[in-house]
Amino acid sequence: MNLESFIIMRHELVLTLAFIFILVAEVFTGERNKEKIKGIAVVLFAIVTAVGFLPAATGSLFGGMYQASGTTTLMKNILNIGTLIVLIQSYTWLGRPENRDRIHEYFLLLLSTLIGMNFMISSGHFLMFYLGIELATIPLAALAAYDRYQNRSAEAGIKLILSSTLSSGILLFGLSMIYGVTGSLYYPEVAAKLSSVPLVVLGFIFFFAGMGFKMSLVPFHLWTADVYEGAPVNVTSYLSVVSKGAAAFIFIIILFNVFPVISVTWEKVIWVIAIMTITIGNLFALRQKNMKRFLAFSSIAQAGFFLLGFIGGNQLGMTTVIYYALIYIFSNLAAFGVVSVIAEKTGKESMDDYDGLYRTNPGLSITMMLAMFSLAGIPPVAGFFGKFFLFVAAAEKGFYVLVTIAVLNTIIALYYYLLVVKAMFINRSDAPIASFKSDFMQKLGLAICIAGIVVTGFASGLFEMIRNLSYGI
Amino acid sequence: MMTDFGYTTWILIIPFITFLLLSFFGMRLKGLPAGITGTSALGVVALLSWYTAITYFTGGGIADGGFQKIVAANAVWLNLSDHLHIDMGVLLDPISVMMLVVISTVSLMVHIYSLGYMKGEKGFERYYAFLSLFTFSMMGLVVATNIFQMYIFWELVGVSSYLLIGFYYDRPSAVAASKKAFIVTRFADMGFLVGILILSFTTKTFDFVTLTDINGPAIASKGGAVFMGMSLMTWSMIFIFMGGAGKSAMFPLHIWLPDAMEGPTPVSALIHAATMVVAGVYLVARMFPVYYFTAPEALHIIAWVGAISSLFAAIIALTQTDIKRVLAYSTISQIGYMIFSLGVSGYGGHDGLGFMASNWHLFNHAMFKALLFLGAGSVIHAVHSNDMKDMGGLRRYMPVTNITFLIACLTIAGVPPLSGFFSKDEILTAALHHNKLLFAIEYAVAGLTAFYMFRLYFSVFHGHDRHYHHTPHESPATMTVPLIILAFGSVFAGFLPFSRLVTSDGAPFESHIEWSVAIPSVAIGLLGIGLAWVMYRKETALPDRVASFFSHGYRWAYNKFYIDEVYIFITKKIIFRRISQPVAWFDRHIVDGTMNGIAYVTQSVSSMIKGLQSGQLQKYGYVFITGVIALAIVFIYLVK
């Protein structure tokens, strides 16, 4: 193994470099210049994102522990885009006085979780996968508790770390059973030696529960609402978009690469979990009045929709999962972006506060409306195509009942997404949120999201590109 | 030699950009500058159109001894299947080039005229924005390379007409009229769409060049499968004509046009006299080979619809007292002529006389009818009323309007050597060769036309003065110059060698005046004028005596044969009460009830399970572990 082959893991390397750079910069900046770190960090991360798009060799390292392919590169790039938007959206919030002395912490923690996610996606060995998932989770708990003087934020951190401990325990337990049956942790070897014995199924279900926790699938989702509500808005958007997307990516890779032998079993498991997740997520979202909680539950339901792409084990399925994740990143970050801007300016987070928003802040209202339309899947915005292809992918394999239930659920989802639109455009309010001007970074973040929502829906070439990089069982 | 006509796309682009500019920045331009922007942009379009026409007709479009269809630009817009795709492009052939000239010229005149007529109106910039939108849509309609593009622009034309009729949106009558126009034409367009769908189903193409190629697959198919006694092609062509009949206000879909006179008068001149309303004629002319070779029955229907509309509208026009409504019915009558002329036409060479005459009449009519409307606008501008009873003796105050209006009246009455004489003569000749009864109807209409036009002329410009609020005065130059230009057009358009330019198969032929038709038709025209002279030049009791002699007939005609009432009876008494109300009941009680039930169940389930989300971490862990165990039990022991 020579030095050049390290270029295969350029995503992780540049991220680590950026991480070290920020750490060093923090040490060497004076007390008065601390705030400049956030500008440096955002620019640095924009470079990291750009580097990810440079063409480079693919292959495996460390005897197959690490592997990179066109698919993993694409996935990492999508995560980078999401993270970049989150960083841009956090920019204003980080400038607050109470955050001044720990701006660098935010970036360091965020970058380390992203490094973890990248390793997780590129893993070729369960141990590597486990290291990645832990690296991606533990700093997240610290991030959730970032507003540490607020009880809600601290509570969110504690709940996240304790729940993740539980899920990691179960996940490891499952992996150990699989190791016990196959005698290996390398993906190809496990895949080759796997058989449909009860111990493997049990191990798979334990593994599934761990992934279900990361993707917040029902019934492993209960932490989601409390953590999402308690954590700072930008951390919540990161959790619900990037972290969830990463989990979905690695999950589909492992399902397709390691567990094809027991695909009959996992199709059934996913069938049940998908219906439960979509339905229960929707039923809870219906009742929420707090915008963050509302988005948390709606994102649970959205995670259920991802499963529709998993279940067929077909190439179209993987394509739509990646495509849907991309759309979901733009749409959900647009929604969180608006919530974050409003929370930042007025401290208001309740849906009732949004009454009559269109009259005072038409730009934000239209952005929110686009995001809601995209999340609900109304044509012609991107979300419609994402959902449509997911349904096609599942229907192609004959899961008609599942698709029917999912379609019915989109109606419920439509209802609650439109509630937000109704509040902004139709409801009148005696004391609406006063008209205000967003600053440049907030506008930039939202503009990227809007462009994403519009472009991903209309650029059919994008879908073709993802399709070429995807594969089935 | 074929020339490259790629620049013709600018004829579409310029008005569209003007529309965008005026709609987004019009408010900042404040009045007159907006009008001048719109007018000068249209001047460029008119120059381009004329240039296109001259190059096309003087050689740019000629190959193999005839004018060819030239696709100047084309882009695939939507790919429906391997064969079927919707394109956007520019198609040039004699009729589309002729229409470019008609539209751009009349539109330019109206733009200039409106600078004076609409001066100081609220929403001046909006008016010009809509005019640009209309011009863009109408141009897109005529240069469409395929029937779907035509349909899209057809609807855009409908929208801009709607916007312009309802320009005075604070007047309830204008709002009602714009809605009526939109709904009636939309209803007709439904037929158009059905026709397009059947057509594309039978022929697998939307493309005009393929469709109208007489050796092409569409015409070779001889109409396709038979349904209820007629071929699918015939059905589709009848449905397509339904759209044309709606836009061209043919009986019985004509009811919107008289009401559309609520719009500003220059708009009536542009849209409801010269350009949009002849879209139906253009549609049939565009598809003429298809009609002729695959759907002769449809062509027969077209001839009768045209003849009946022209007679019917002419009779109503005899009795109306609103100056614009008389002109509106006269428009219906004249478009009836054109449609009729297409219906009796043959294909190729001298057989295609009706086709040529129809287009020629369209061209002439655009000039003299725009002139009549703009003249009427000038009068209305002077006396602030639409009613002929408030007008009289205006020739002393408005010399230019008087002379130009007189020229237009003589033209429409078919007095030689004005342009109307030539085209009407050709139409009647074509009719005579086809069917004697239809000829007789159109011959009678020629007399009626002369009579009602001169009834209008004499009662407005001759007779006594009325009690005017202020002395009427001639309109400003922005209004009279367009009148003069259009008057020149009306006089000299008859000398254009149309039979060598616009023919059914593109090949020129020689036409000559058929004296055996021309002399009687001039005679009946003069008879009509003479009668009008006797009855209306001086105010006498004669008209009232005549009216009371025909009292029943007069009342029927005055009330437009109660067609509006028939529509109201059908919609309100039959459709609303018998069909809509039961449907509404079903919708309100059964459909909504089911939906409310589902919503109620969803809400209650949602509140039932809320205990799950307690906020207590130990409970979350409990649910987590329970979930894992349940999954394990189910998938290891129960479902294998």
Nearest by CB to B606, from A220, A226, A287: name it: A287
The reported pLDDT for the residue numbered A248 is 94
Task: Give the mean pLDDT of A330-335.
Answer: 93
Nearest by CB to A220, from B627, B634, B639: name it: B627
Residues 6+ apart with CB under 8 A from B131: B38, B42, B107, B110, B111, B114, B164, B267, B270
Task: Give the mean pLDDT of A49-57.
Answer: 85
Any idea which of A173-177, B32-36, B100-104, B464-468 has the lowest mean pLDDT? Answer: B464-468
Alpha-carbon torsion angle B463, B464, B470, B471, nearest 10: 60
Work out the minimum CA distance from B635 to partner chain A, whole angstroms. Answer: 7
**pLDDT tens figures, B149-174:** 899 899 999 988 998 888 888 888 88
**pLDDT tens figures, B545-569:** 777 777 777 787 777 777 778 888 8
For residues B344 and B353, the answer to whether their CB atoms sit within 8 Å is no
> Could you tell me the pLDDT band of residue B47, with boundaries at 50, 70 and 90?
very high
Task: Give the mean pLDDT of B250-271.
Answer: 86
Please choose, from the candidates A463, A471, A366, the residue with its C-alpha nearest in 3D space to the C-alpha of residue A421: A366
Q: Does A249 touch chain B (CB under 8 A)?
A: no
Given an 8 Å threshold on Cβ–Cβ distance, is B626 in contact with A209? no
Q: Does B631 touch chain A (CB under 8 A)?
A: yes
Q: Does A213 touch chain B (CB under 8 A)?
A: yes
Given an 8 Å threshold on Cβ–Cβ distance, is A284 in contact with B623? no
Any idea which of A244-258, A447-461, B381-395, B463-477 has the lowest mean pLDDT? Answer: B463-477
**pLDDT tens figures, B422-445:** 888 888 888 888 888 888 888 889
Helix (H, G, I), strand (E, B) or coil at B465: coil
Given an 8 Å threshold on Cβ–Cβ distance, is B635 in contact with A269? yes
- Distance between CA A324 and CA A315 in Å, rounded? 14
The reported pLDDT for the residue numbered B593 is 81
**pLDDT tens figures, A341-368:** 888 888 888 888 888 888 888 888 889 9
| Main-chain dihedrals φ then ψ at residue A131, nearest 5 degrees | -60, -45
Q: Does B626 touch chain A (CB under 8 A)?
A: yes
- Distance between CA B532 and CA B594 in Å, rounded? 68
The reported pLDDT for the residue numbered B223 is 62
- Distance between CA B284 and CA B281 in Å, rounded? 5
Task: Give the mean pLDDT of B248-274.
Answer: 86
- Distance between CA B224 and CA A298 in Å, rounded? 53
- C-alpha A257 chain-centroid distance: 21
> Could you tell me the pLDDT band of residue A437, with boundaries at 50, 70 and 90?
confident
Instruction: Give the side-chain half-sphere CA count within 13 A for B618.
Output: 0
**Residues of B with Cβ-Cβ distance to A280 under 8 angstroms:** 609
Token pair, residue A222, equals 């209960």
What DSSP line would sit under B483-546, residue for residue?
HHHHHHHHHHGGGS-GGGTS-SSS--------HHHHHHHHHHHHHHHHHHHHHHTTT-SHHHHH
CA distances, A16 to each of A20, A85, A213, B192 (Å): 6, 19, 27, 65
- Distance between CA B157 and CA B132 in Å, rounded? 11
Q: Which residue of chain B has the CA closest to A207? A: B628
Given an 8 Å threshold on Cβ–Cβ distance, is B602 in contact with A219? no
Work out the minimum CA distance from B20 to partner chain A, whole angstroms. Answer: 21
For residues A15 and A57, the answer to whether their CB atoms sit within 8 Å is no
State yes or no: pLDDT of A242 exceeds 70. Answer: yes
- Distance between CA B418 and CA B424 in Å, rounded? 11
State yes or no: pLDDT of B91 exceeds 70. Answer: yes
Please choose, from the candidates B2, B10, B155, the residue with its C-alpha nearest in 3D space to the C-alpha of residue B90: B10
The reported pLDDT for the residue numbered A1 is 56
The reported pLDDT for the residue numbered B78 is 65
β partners of residue B231: B226
Given an 8 Å threshold on Cβ–Cβ distance, is B606 in contact with A213? no
**Residues of chain A above pLDDT 70, percent:** 99
State yes or no: pLDDT of A16 exceeds 80. Answer: yes
**pLDDT tens figures, A363-390:** 888 899 999 999 988 877 888 888 888 9
Helices and strands in chain A, H and E counts: 20, 2
Helix (H, G, I), strand (E, B) or coil at A96: coil
Q: Please identify which residue in the block is written with the tokens 């009636």.
A: B184
> Residue B63: left if φ>0, alpha if ψ -120 to 50, beta else—which one?
beta
β partners of residue B71: B91
For residues B398 and B473, the answer to whether their CB atoms sit within 8 Å is yes
Q: Please identify which residue in the block is written with the tokens 């996606």.
A: A121
Q: Does A46 touch chain B (CB under 8 A)?
A: no
Alpha-carbon torsion angle B608, B610, B616, B617, nearest 10: 100
**Residues of B with Cβ-Cβ distance to A144 under 8 angstroms:** none
- Distance between CA A33 and CA A45 in Å, rounded? 19
The reported pLDDT for the residue numbered B224 is 67
- Distance between CA A144 and CA A223 in Å, rounded? 12
For residues A397 and A314, the answer to whether their CB atoms sit within 8 Å is yes
Q: Count of CB atoms within 10 A of residue A373's CB?
A: 22
Q: Does A220 touch chain B (CB under 8 A)?
A: yes
**pLDDT tens figures, A18-42:** 999 998 988 888 777 777 888 888 9
For residues B127 and B121, the answer to whether their CB atoms sit within 8 Å is yes
**pLDDT tens figures, B613-627:** 777 888 888 888 898
The reported pLDDT for the residue numbered B1 is 46
Q: Does A170 touch chain B (CB under 8 A)?
A: yes
**pLDDT tens figures, B484-496:** 998 988 888 888 8
Given an 8 Å threshold on Cβ–Cβ distance, is A163 in contact with B620? yes
For residues A370 and A447, the answer to whether their CB atoms sit within 8 Å is no
ipTM score of complex: 0.86
Supply the mean pLDDT for chain B.
85
Token pair, residue B412, equals 């429409």
The reported pLDDT for the residue numbered A395 is 87
**pLDDT tens figures, A79-138:** 999 999 999 998 888 888 888 778 888 999 999 999 999 999 999 999 999 999 999 999
- Distance between CA B559 and CA B182 in Å, rounded? 22
Q: Please identify which residue in the block is written with the tokens 């997404």.
A: A417
The reported pLDDT for the residue numbered B459 is 86
- C-alpha B55 chain-centroid distance: 27
Q: What is the DSSP letter of B474?
A: P
**pLDDT tens figures, B298-348:** 888 999 999 999 998 998 888 888 888 899 999 999 999 899 988 888 887
Q: Please identify which residue in the block is written with the tokens 């008879």.
A: B527
Helices (H), B4-31: 9-29
Given an 8 Å threshold on Cβ–Cβ distance, is B632 in contact with A202? yes
- Distance between CA A233 and CA B498 in Å, rounded? 74
β partners of residue A68: A59
Which amino acid would we find at residue B143?
V
Burial class of B636 by CB neighbour count within 10 A (0 to 12, 13 to 18, 19+)? middle
Please choose, from the candidates A433, A414, A283, the residue with its C-alpha nearest in 3D space to the C-alpha of residue A350: A433
Q: Is the pTM of this model over 0.90?
A: no
Given an 8 Å threshold on Cβ–Cβ distance, is B615 in contact with A286? no
**Residues of A with Cβ-Cβ distance to B627 under 8 angstroms:** 209, 218-220
Q: Does B606 touch chain A (CB under 8 A)?
A: yes
Token pair, residue A455, equals 């472009």
**pLDDT tens figures, B185-243:** 888 999 999 998 888 888 888 888 888 887 877 777 766 677 777 788 888 889 999 99
Determine which of B607, B613, B629 to mutate to test the interface with A (most A C-beta atoms within 10 Å): B613
